[in-house]
Amino acid sequence: MKLITVCKSKIHRATVTQCDVNYVGSITVDQDLLDAAGIIDGELVHVWNVSNGERLETYAIPAEPGSRIVCLNGAAAHMCNVGDKVIIAAFCLTDEPVQRQVVLVDDNNGIASTI
């Protein structure tokens, strides 16, 4: 069996609402966005900062549903600023086709549409 890495989930152009260097680590994301993208608590995610080009890997933790929070924590907080646009992506290893879940967000981190 040959496994390939495939993008399974993406939250596109979310706005960073907070940065907390004193938190242990991770990215905190509104549970509604995580659910819409199919990203689970603790899952490895890539974060691509559209505003400054920084790229990092961390894990997702849920924020209160409806909070619209996107907060970079720990060392990752040094790689962004409040107001930056980020893409949050998750991948999986598979030998089967994957239906990617893409969530497009508005400027306030509300769900604009899904693809």
Catalytic residue among 26, 51, 67, 113: 26
Asked whether residue 50 is domain-assigned, the answer is yes
pLDDT greater than 90 at residue 24: no
46 beta partners: 57, 89
Strand positions, DSSP E, 16-100: 18-20, 26-30, 44-49, 55-63, 70-73, 85-94
Q: What is the pLDDT of residue 12?
A: 98
Taking residues 19-42, what's their average pLDDT?
96
Domain that holds residue 47: 4-93
Note the pLDDT tens digit of each residue in 75-103. 999 999 999 999 999 999 999 999 999 99
Q: Find tokens 């907070």 and name the residue.
A: 18
Asked whether residue 82 is domain-assigned, the answer is yes
β-pairing, 111-114 with 70-73?
A: unpaired
CATH code: domain of residue 29? 2.40.40.20
Q: Please indicate whether residue 26 is annotated as part of the active site.
A: yes
Q: Please indicate whether residue 59 is annotated as part of the active site.
A: yes
Asked whether residue 113 is domain-assigned, the answer is no
How high is the mean pLDDT of the chain? Answer: 97
Q: What is the spatial distance between Cα 8 and Cα 10, in angstroms, rounded to a whole number?
A: 7
Q: pTM of the full predicted structure?
A: 0.97
Please count the other Cβ atoms lying within 10 Å of the Cβ belonging to residue 86.
27
Number of domains forming the structure of the chain: 1
Asked whether residue 104 is domain-assigned, the answer is no
Residues across the chain: 115
Q: What is the pLDDT of residue 25?
A: 82
Taking residues 57-66, what's their average pLDDT?
98
Asked whether residue 13 is domain-assigned, the answer is yes
Give the tokens for residue 39. Answer: 């990203």
108 backbone φψ class: left, alpha, beta (φ>0; ψ -120 to 50): alpha
pLDDT greater than 90 at residue 23: yes
Taking residues 9-28, what's their average pLDDT?
96
Taking residues 25-47, what's their average pLDDT?
97
Catalytic residue among 23, 51, 59, 67: 59
Asked whether residue 10 is domain-assigned, the answer is yes
